[in-house]
Structure 1
Amino acid sequence: MLRAYPDGMDSWIERHADRVRTAGEALRAVPPGRRILIGSGAAEPVTLVRALVDERGPYLADNEVVHLLTLGPAPYVEPSQAGRFRHVAFFIGPNVRQAVQEGRADFMPVFLSEIPELIRSRRIRIDVALIQVSPPDAHGYVSLGVSVDIVRAAVDAASLIIAEVNPHMPRTHGDSFLDVRRIHHLVPVTLPLLEVHPEPPDAVSRSIGEHVARLIPDGATLQSGIGRIPDAILAALENHHDLGIHTEMLSDGVMRLVEAGVITGKRKTVLAGKLVTSFIMGSQRLYAWAHDHPAIEMRPSDDTNDPAVVARNARMVAINSALAVDLTGQVASDTLGGCFYSGIGGQVDFIRGASRSPGGRAIIALPSTARGGAVSRIQLALEPGTGVVTSRGDVHSVVTEYGVAELWGKSIRERALALINVAHPDFRAELMARAKGRRWVMPDQVVPRARYPWAEERLEHTLAHDALVIRPARVTDERALQDLLYALSRESGYRRFMGFKKEHPHAEIQRMVDLDFEHDMALVACPPGTEEVVGVVHYLVDPATGLGDVSFVVRDDWQGRGVGTVLMRRIREAAMARGIPGFQADVLMTNTSMLDVFHESGLPVRSRREDGVYHLELLFPEAPAPPAPGPG
C-alpha cells in the first residue's frame, strides 16, 4: 500500500532532479576497494543490491559488504563474485549463512549496542551506504523508515550515500530523519517492502508462551524478537495490562497487542507511552500501521540496546532465544555444530540491562529438543566449537515447554537440577547420569519422573489477605523445604512428625519432591516473586483404602493466617481432578489448628481416637465409601 505523503512522487523528483539517477548510474560512483554498508532487514535496497552486482560488479575489486540481517537477496556472496566482494556479517541471516560456513564470507562477533560507535569512530570504516528511505517531506527530510539500528551511524559516517526512495517506506518518528541534501544519489523505486511471516505457533511454542507470560507482571516493559516462540509469547499476553515496549525489533505481535489495548506504555519509566525500537520487521499491514504513527519512537541500536538505558526501564523483561543451554547455564546462540549460525545481536545487551532493571527479569526461551526430538537442547556441556554468547553469570531464567528453570543465585547443583527438570523427559535420565559423573549433583539424586503440572499453579489470598503462590513442589525446592522444616518451633515440629526430629537430611527431603503428581502430590505456598516455602501439603494414596494420606506443615510465623485453609482447598481440588475419593490423616489431639482446618473444610469428617491421635477420613462429594480394611 502506497503511503500518503505531502508531495507526490513526481514533485520530489522534479525538485531534486540533479541527484535523481537510475540504480546503475548511481552505483558508478562506487570505487573499488571500499567498504559498503547495506540497509538492514526489510529496508534492504534490493534494486541497488542487484545493480551493485550485475551492473557495477564487473568494474569492482576487493569491495567489502557489511550489514546486519537482511531479508532480500545477497548475490555478492555467490562464488562467482569472489575477488569483487567479500561479505562481513554483523549477524548471519539465511541468505549468507552458507557463504559464512563455507569460508566465502566472514562473521564479526559484536554486541549490537556497540556497532554504531565502531562505525562513528571509524574502527569499522563505512565508505558507502546503500539505504532505502521514504520520499522527502515538505521540509526536505526523508525517513529511514523501518530501519534505524546501525544505519543511523552509517549515514552519519559514510562519504557516499545512495538511497532508494520508495513511497512504500513508512515515515517513522524518532531519530529517523535525514536531510535529503545529505544523500548524493536518489534512485526512485516503487516496490513493497520485504516481509517476514513466522510459522504459526505449535504446541511447544504455545506452552513456552504460557510459561513466559506467567513471569511477566502487568506494567512490565518488554523486549522480544520475531519468530514462532516470540509470537507465541506475545499472543499469551492478551490478558495483561499496561505493558510497554523497549526493544530492538518491533513485530506484528506487538502491533496486535497495541490494537487490543494490552500495550499502552502508561507505566513505562523511560519514554512513557512510546514504542521504542530500532527496526520494524513483519507484514505489509505492520508497515502501513507504522507510517506516521506518533507512538513509535525509532532509535539507533546504541540507544535501544545500551544496557544502561535498558536498565532505566522499571520491570524490564528481556526475552531471547537460544540454540542450546548447558547444565551450568551457559547459552549458545550464534553457533550450531561448530558452525557459525546467527550472531550475538542484542541478546547480551538486553539480558544485562533487564537484570539491572528494578523488578526486571532476563529470560532465555527455547524448545527442549531439536532435529525432530532427536537432540536435547539442554546439554551437559556445549558441543566442541560452540561459542558462549551469554555467560552462566548473566542467565536468570530458562524456559522450555516443560517449565521454568530459575538459575540466578543458584549453585551448579541447583542449576543442573532446575535445567534437567525442564529438559525433555526422554533425556532427563541421561543428563542426570552424566551430571552425577561430573559430581555436579548428589550420587543418589532422583530423576524427575513426571511432567510438572504447571496448570496447578495459582495465586491465592488467605483469610488474612496474604497473597501466596500455591504450586506443585519441584525437585529444586529441596533446600527451601529444608529451611521450612528447620525453622519450625519444637512444638510445631512435634505436631507435624508426632515426635521430635533433629535432622531433615537430603534423603528425607528428596522423598518429598520425588512425585508422580497423580498418586503422590505436594503443593507448596510461596510469597509471590520468591522461592521461599512457608507451607506445604502432601498426599500419598494409600493402596489399602484408595484415600490420599494427607499432611500439612506451616511455618510458625505464618500460622493462624489461613495458609492451611488455602492449602487444604487447593490439595482437595488437585486430588478430585485426579479421581481420588478423599483424604485420611492422623492428627495429634493437641494439634487443634490442624483439626480446625479439616473440620472447617466443608467436607464430612469421620474420626476415631486412639492413643492421643485422631484418625480422620474426609470423603469428597459423590465419592464412594472406601473399602473396609482387610484382615490383619
Structure 2
Amino acid sequence: MDPRDWQVRYADKVSTAEEAIRLIPPGRRILIGSGAAEPMTLVQAMVEKGEHLFDNEVVHLLTLGPAPYVEPEHRYRFRHIAFFIGANTRQAVQEGRADFMPVFLSEIPELIRSHRVRVDVALLQVSPPDGHGYVSLGVSVDVVRSAVEAAPLLIAEVNPRMPRTHGDSFVHVSRLHRLVPVDQPLLERPLEPQDEVSREIGGHIARLIPDGATLQLGIGGIPDAVLAQLTHHADLGLHTEMLSDGVMHLVDAGVITGRAKTLLPGKLVTSFIMGTQRLYEWAHDNPAIEMRPSDFTNEPGVIAQNERMVAINGALAVDLTGQVAADTLGGCFFSGIGGQVDFIRGAARSRGGRPIIALPSTAKGGTMSRIQVALEGGTGVVTSRGDVHYVVTEYGVADLWGKDIRERAKALIHIAHPDFRAELMAAAKARHWVLPDQVVPRARYPWTEERVERILSGQELLIRPARITDERAMQELLYGLSDDSTYRRFMGFKKWHPHEEVQQLVNPDFEQNMALVAWVPGTDELVGVVRYDVVPSTGLGDVAFVVRDDWQGKGVGTALMKRIREAAQARGLPGFQADVLVVNKPMLDVFHESGLTVQARLEDGCYHLELLFPGGEASRHAARPTGAVHT
C-alpha cells in the first residue's frame, strides 16, 4: 500500500469489535496489549462474541482491566499464559486454569520475534493516526512492539484518549488489519497510600541515591515512597520499565532532568506508562519521553551504560544467604520474574551503580518474617545470592556484595523485625553460619542519627551509630593502629582484639552506651570510632576515641566529639568523663577545644577529665542511672 493513500484505505479497515474478532481462527495464540493499554472492548468481544474460538491461548504481561477469558466457564475456549501474573489472573494460575511462563522481561521480545513464543494475533489499543498515517502504541511498547512485528494479524482499538508517545512507538496503519473506534478513558493505577513502613523504606533508599543518578523503579507503594522522598535531589535521570505519576511530579519539580545521564541524556526512557489520567495527559506528545521495547529498556548491557544506575525492586522474601523470592508465595505462583534480574544485573555493572532489593520486614499482619533462614518449600529464587547487593527493610540497609555467609546473615538479621531476630540468630547458629556466641542486634537501630560531616581537612565523613556488621572493620582498624596509637588508646600495649571484645564494642544499646563510627563515604574505610558508657556512680559517659593513624590531625576526632556530644545530650546525659595519658596531646586538644568546661585531675601520668554540658551539673545530681556497665 502506498503510504500516501492511507486515508483512502483507512476506512476499509474500520469495523466493529465483533466483526474484527471473527477474523481470529480457533487454536491460535492471541497477545493482549499490556497494562493501561489493554483493549477492553476487543477482550470483551473476544469472550462474548467469539463463539467460534476454541483452544485459543491468550498471552500478555500485567494488564489492569478484566480478564474474563480465565473464568472457569471459558476453560475449553481459552487458556491463559502469563508472562507476569497480575491480580486479575492470579487465582486462575493458582487453580491450574492458566499457566505461568518464567522468563526475563528483556528476553520476551526476541522469543516473540523468533517465533519461539509464537504470536498469531495481537489485540492492541492505539492513538488516532497522525498526518502521515502513523498511530502510536501510546502507553505500552514493552513486548507489544515485537508482537506488532511478528504477528500475522493485528487488530487495534483506536482511542482518542490514548496519548501519542515518542520513541519506538509508531506503527503505520497499513500494518494494521482492523481498526475498531472507541472513546473511553485509559485504565488507571492510582498511587497507593503510603504507610509508615513504606515511608521508612523509602527514606533508607533515598539516602542511597546520589545526585545525578539514573533510576529504575517498579510497581507499588515502596517505589512511590522512594519518589516522594527525592524532592531535594538534583539532576536525576530515568531508565526504567515503568513510568509513574511520581516520576511526573519530580520532572515538574525540576528534580528529574536527565542532564547527568550517560545514555540518552535528557530522555525519560521507559517501556510502559501506568498511573492516573493526569499522567496520560502529561505524556501526550511529550518529547522528553522515549518509549522503547523491553529488549532495550531491560537489557543489562544497555542498562549498564547509565552511570550511577540505581535499580529498586521489590521482593516477597529474602533468606539469610541473600536469595530473593519474588514470584512465588507459599509455594504458589504470585507474580513473575519481570525485570528484576535484568535491572539488578544492569545496575551492578554500571559505574557507581546500586542494585537494591526492598521489602517490608514482616508479612501476614506482622506474624511472619520476610527475612527467613531458608525460603519456604516450593518457593522459587528469582534473584540469586550472587546477584544481590543491597537489601532494604524499614529497619535499615544490608550491604551483601562481597560478603561471606556469616556477614550476610548478621547484616540481614540486623534489618529483620526485632520480634524475629533472636529466632533467626538461633537458626543461623544451628547451621554454623555465625559464631556460637554471636549477639543478637539491639531492638531498633537509630538510623536518623546518621550524618555526613565535613572535617577540618575539607573531606567528608559519614558518621553513624555502630552496628554488629562493623565488627570486622573495627578489628581491622584496631589491628592497623601504630604501637603509639594503641598505647595512647588502651594505656598500654595491646596485641589482641578478639571477636568477644570487638562485638561488644559494636553492639551498644544506644542509651547507656553509644558508639559512633566514621567512614569515608561510599567505601569500606573505617577511619575512627568514639564510644561512651554511662558510669553508674556519676551518670557521666566515660568516653574514648580511636582514629586511624593516617587520618590523625585532620579533624576526625573533633567531628566525632561533636556528634557524640549531640547523641549524649539527646539522651539526657550531664556530660562526659575520660582518662587521657599526659602524652596524648591530640586527644587532650579535642577535649579542650570542644567548647565545654574541662575539669582535670592529674594522677600517675594520666589526666582524669570531666566535661559537663550546659546545665549538666543540675541534671547530674538529679540523674539516677541504672543498669549501666563501665568498660
Q: Which residue of 2 aligns with 1:454?
A: 447
Unmatched tracts of structure 1, length 5 or more: 1-10
Among 19, 22, 41, the residue aligned to 2:13: 19
Verify: 1:401 aligned to 2:376, yes or no.
no
Structure 1 residue 17 displacement after superposition: 1.4
Cα deviation, 1:52-78, whole Å, max 9, x if unaligned, reads 00001x211110000000000101101
CA contact (8 A) 1:198 1:226 kept: no
Cα deviation, 1:258-316, whole Å, max 9, x if unaligned, reads 00000000000000000000000000000000000000000000000000000000000
Structure 1 residue 530 displacement after superposition: 1.6
3-state SS, counterpart of residue 65 of structure 1: strand
Rounded Cα–Cα distance in structure 2 between residues aligned with 1:532 and 1:436: 29
Rounded Cα–Cα distance in structure 1 between residues aligned with 2:42 and 2:475: 66
Verify: 1:174 aligned to 2:167, yes or no.
yes
Rounded Cα–Cα distance in structure 1 between residues aligned with 2:539 and 2:6: 83
Verify: 1:584 aligned to 2:577, yes or no.
yes
Rounded Cα–Cα distance in structure 2 between residues aligned with 1:505 and 1:549: 22
3-state SS, counterpart of residue 86 of structure 1: strand
CA contact (8 A) 1:113 1:306 kept: yes
Rounded Cα–Cα distance in structure 1 between residues aligned with 2:27 and 2:128: 31
Verify: 1:281 aligned to 2:270, yes or no.
no
Alignment of 1:212-251 (within 5 A): 212-251=205-244
Q: Which residue of 1 aligns with 2:470?
A: 477
Alignment of 1:78-477 (within 5 A): 78-477=71-470
Rounded Cα–Cα distance in structure 2 between residues aligned with 1:516 and 1:60: 68
- Aligned partner letter, 1:310: I
Among 54, 69, 79, the residue aligned to 1:76: 69
Q: Which residue of 2 aligns with 1:561?
A: 554
Q: Which residue of 2 aligns with 1:39?
A: 33
- Change over 3 Å in CA distance of 1:519–1:628 after alignment to 2: closer
Structure 1 residue 198 displacement after superposition: 3.3
CA contact (8 A) 2:165 2:286 kept: yes
3-state SS, counterpart of residue 590 of structure 2: helix
Rounded Cα–Cα distance in structure 1 between residues aligned with 2:159 and 2:248: 23
Structure 1 residue 199 displacement after superposition: 2.1
- Aligned partner letter, 2:498: P
3-state SS, counterpart of residue 282 of structure 2: helix
CA contact (8 A) 1:450 1:517 kept: no
Verify: 1:53 aligned to 2:53, yes or no.
no
3-state SS, counterpart of residue 482 of structure 1: helix
Q: Which residue of 2 aligns with 1:542?
A: 535
CA contact (8 A) 2:6 2:174 kept: no
Greater shift in the superposed pair: 345-354 or 459-468: 459-468
- Aligned partner letter, 1:211: H
Among 567, 578, 594, the residue aligned to 1:574: 567
Rounded Cα–Cα distance in structure 1 between residues aligned with 2:31 and 2:387: 32
Structure 1 residue 366 displacement after superposition: 0.5
Rounded Cα–Cα distance in structure 2 between residues aligned with 1:528 and 1:450: 26
3-state SS, counterpart of residue 264 of structure 1: coil
- Aligned partner letter, 2:375: L
- Change over 3 Å in CA distance of 1:628–1:615 after alignment to 2: farther
Identity across matched positions, percent: 76
CA contact (8 A) 1:270 1:313 kept: yes
Rounded Cα–Cα distance in structure 2 between residues aligned with 1:396 and 1:628: 48
3-state SS, counterpart of residue 417 of structure 1: helix
CA contact (8 A) 1:545 1:628 kept: no
Rounded Cα–Cα distance in structure 1 between residues aligned with 2:265 and 2:329: 39
3-state SS, counterpart of residue 88 of structure 1: strand
- Aligned partner letter, 1:53: V
Q: TM-score by structure 1 length?
A: 0.97
Q: Which residue of 1 aligns with 2:506?
A: 513
CA contact (8 A) 1:43 1:193 kept: yes
- Change over 3 Å in CA distance of 1:140–1:498 after alignment to 2: same
Structure 1 residue 15 displacement after superposition: 6.0
3-state SS, counterpart of residue 624 of structure 1: helix
CA contact (8 A) 2:579 2:609 kept: yes
Structure 1 residue 485 displacement after superposition: 0.2
Rounded Cα–Cα distance in structure 1 between residues aligned with 2:223 and 2:623: 55
- Change over 3 Å in CA distance of 1:14–1:581 after alignment to 2: farther
- Aligned partner letter, 1:382: L
Rounded Cα–Cα distance in structure 1 between residues aligned with 2:594 and 2:306: 45
- Aligned partner letter, 1:288: E
CA contact (8 A) 2:191 2:245 kept: no
- Aligned partner letter, 1:46: M
Cα deviation, 1:542-565, whole Å, max 9, x if unaligned, reads 111000000000010000001000
Rounded Cα–Cα distance in structure 1 between residues aligned with 2:614 and 2:514: 20
- Aligned partner letter, 2:386: G
Rounded Cα–Cα distance in structure 1 between residues aligned with 2:439 and 2:216: 37
- Aligned partner letter, 2:22: R
Rounded Cα–Cα distance in structure 1 between residues aligned with 2:525 and 2:515: 15
3-state SS, counterpart of residue 618 of structure 1: strand
Structure 1 residue 597 displacement after superposition: 0.3
3-state SS, counterpart of residue 574 of structure 1: helix
Structure 1 residue 13 displacement after superposition: 8.3
Unmatched tracts of structure 2, length 5 or more: 625-631
Rounded Cα–Cα distance in structure 2 between residues aligned with 1:81 and 1:418: 49
Rounded Cα–Cα distance in structure 2 between residues aligned with 1:514 and 1:156: 59
Rounded Cα–Cα distance in structure 2 between residues aligned with 1:383 and 1:629: 50
Rounded Cα–Cα distance in structure 1 between residues aligned with 2:6 and 2:606: 93
CA contact (8 A) 1:12 1:135 kept: no
Structure 1 residue 402 displacement after superposition: 0.3
Over aligned residues, Cα RMSD in angstroms?
1.4
Structure 1 residue 518 displacement after superposition: 1.2
Structure 1 residue 531 displacement after superposition: 2.8
Structure 1 residue 14 displacement after superposition: 7.4
Q: Which residue of 2 aligns with 1:8?
A: none
CA contact (8 A) 1:565 1:601 kept: yes
CA contact (8 A) 1:448 1:514 kept: yes
- Aligned partner letter, 1:604: T
Rounded Cα–Cα distance in structure 2 between residues aligned with 1:498 and 1:507: 20
Verify: 1:29 aligned to 2:18, yes or no.
no
CA contact (8 A) 2:136 2:169 kept: yes
CA contact (8 A) 1:206 1:232 kept: yes
